[in-house]
């Protein structure tokens, strides 16, 4: 059995309203953005929300520094998945899975197990990050974009199609990224603040670990890199919509995948290789063969 991407979608806050005496009214919500990206996936396939058995949310940063309840439950409600067991007897389950930039591939690994065991027929993965204050552009020290992505995953009749194994990697040395709420200095505005500190060599360490992961994964699973399109850190940045600033975070693999589809997959490429790298540094890889390749 192969697990394929049936649909992928993204969502951003969009261009804010401006005027001579108007303030910037843009406010981002991770739940709303994740819901929009998820509904985009459903609309592409004509699938109703009740057709989704499991929703996994992998976003890290969220409005007002919300920690409880699990945001996955709020996204499930936003999308309309199994809201009334009397009207819709199909069981729907959701949970958060947070592992930073590698979260989407962690969710892919979970999805492989759930589909393999028959626990569900479809899995919806949502990834949304927003600044706790609702607008990442107002905080020059916050590195990430207000952005959401979603993947709808399901079985393929082609056993050679879909995702290969997910493999994880950890870099040497101390952690190079910290994201936290500075309780000593937050004052009355603490719920709208976040501190993200990255070491000066963060980009170099992340790039080196990503390169090591690609080489190791290719050797372990016999990938011909000359016939493989790599979707990794940096390949998705140019795909951000106009007006959006910052780096894609947990939604980066979705954005990179859609960017690759829009550009057209090269005829001489048999498969894709998803590579994620982030805090730690840590990295993950998973190959993906589209149906018909």
Least confident span in 15-19, 62-66, 68-72: 15-19
Closest CA to 100 of 202, 235, 244: 202
Q: Quick: pLDDT tens for 67-94.
A: 778 899 999 999 999 887 767 666 688 9
Q: Give CA–CA dist 264/241, Å, rounded.
A: 19
Q: Do 192 and 132 form a contact (C-beta atoms < 8 A)?
A: yes
How confident is the prediction for the chain on average, in pLDDT? 87
Q: Give CA–CA dist 276/168, Å, rounded.
A: 9
pLDDT at 101: 93
Q: Give CA–CA dist 112/5, Å, rounded.
A: 12
Q: Give CA–CA dist 93/55, Å, rounded.
A: 6
Angle of the 30-45 helix axis to the 71-79 helix axis, nearest 10: 40
Q: Which two tokens stand for residue 98?
A: 């947070």
Q: Quick: pLDDT tens for 178-190.
A: 887 777 766 667 7
Instruction: Please tell me which of 47-51, 107-111, 266-270 the model is most confident about, judged by mean pLDDT.
Output: 107-111
pLDDT at 265: 86
Q: Output the pTM of the full model.
A: 0.90
pLDDT at 251: 95
Share of the chain above pLDDT 70, in %: 88
pLDDT at 185: 66
- Would you say residue 244 has pLDDT above 90? no
- Would you say residue 254 has pLDDT above 90? yes
pLDDT at 15: 45
Provide the pLDDT confidence category of residue 239 given band limits of 50, 70 and 90: low
pLDDT at 79: 95
Share of the chain above pLDDT 90, in %: 55
- Rounded to a whole number, what is the distance in angstroms from the first to the last CA of the chain? 16
Q: Quick: pLDDT tens for 123-175.
A: 999 999 998 888 888 888 889 999 999 999 999 988 889 999 999 999 887 88
For residues 258-265, give the mean pLDDT: 90
For residues 212-240, give the mean pLDDT: 87
pLDDT at 246: 85
Instruction: Name the residue with higher pLDDT: 77 or 176.
Output: 77
Class of domain 2-289: alpha beta
Q: Quick: pLDDT tens for 101-126.
A: 999 999 999 999 999 998 888 999 99
Cis peptide before 69 (omega within 30 of 0): yes
- Would you say residue 41 has pLDDT above 70? yes
Domain chopping of the chain, boundaries: 2-289
């Amino acid at each position: 059995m192969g697990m394929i991407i049936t649909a992928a979608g993204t969502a951003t806050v969009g261009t804010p309203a401006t005027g001579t005496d108007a303030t910037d009214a843009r406010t981002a919500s991770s739940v709303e953005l994740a819901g929009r990206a998820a509904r985009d996936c459903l609309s592409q396939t004509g699938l109703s929300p009740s057709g989704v058995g499991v929703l996994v949310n992998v976003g890290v940063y969220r409005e007002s520094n919300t920690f409880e309840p699990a945001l996955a439950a709020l996204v499930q409600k936003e999308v309309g998945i199994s809201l009334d067991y009397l009207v819709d007897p199909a069981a729907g389950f959701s949970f958060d899975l947070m592992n930073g930039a590698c979260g989407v591939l962690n969710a892919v690994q979970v999805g492989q197990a759930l589909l393999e065991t028959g626990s569900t027929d479809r899995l919806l993965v949502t990834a949304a990050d927003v600044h706790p204050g609702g607008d990442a552009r107002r905080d020059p020290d916050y590195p990430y974009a207000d952005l959401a992505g979603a993947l709808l995953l399901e079985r393929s009749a082609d056993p050679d199609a879909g995702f290969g194994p997910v493999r994880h990697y950890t870099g040497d040395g101390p952690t190079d990224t910290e994201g936290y709420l500075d309780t000593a200095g937050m004052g009355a505005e603490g719920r709208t603040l976040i501190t993200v500190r990255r070491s000066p060599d963060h980009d170099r360490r992340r790039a080196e670990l990503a390169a090591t992961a690609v080489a190791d994964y290719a050797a372990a699973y016999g990938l011909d890199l000359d016939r493989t399109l790599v979707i990794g850190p940096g390949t998705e940045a140019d795909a951000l919509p106009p007006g959006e600033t910052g780096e894609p975070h947990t939604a980066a693999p979705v954005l990179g995948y859609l960017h690759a589809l829009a550009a057209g997959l090269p005829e001489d490429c048999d498969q894709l290789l998803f590579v994620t790298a982030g805090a730690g540094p840590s990295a993950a890889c998973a190959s993906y063969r589209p149906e018909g390749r």
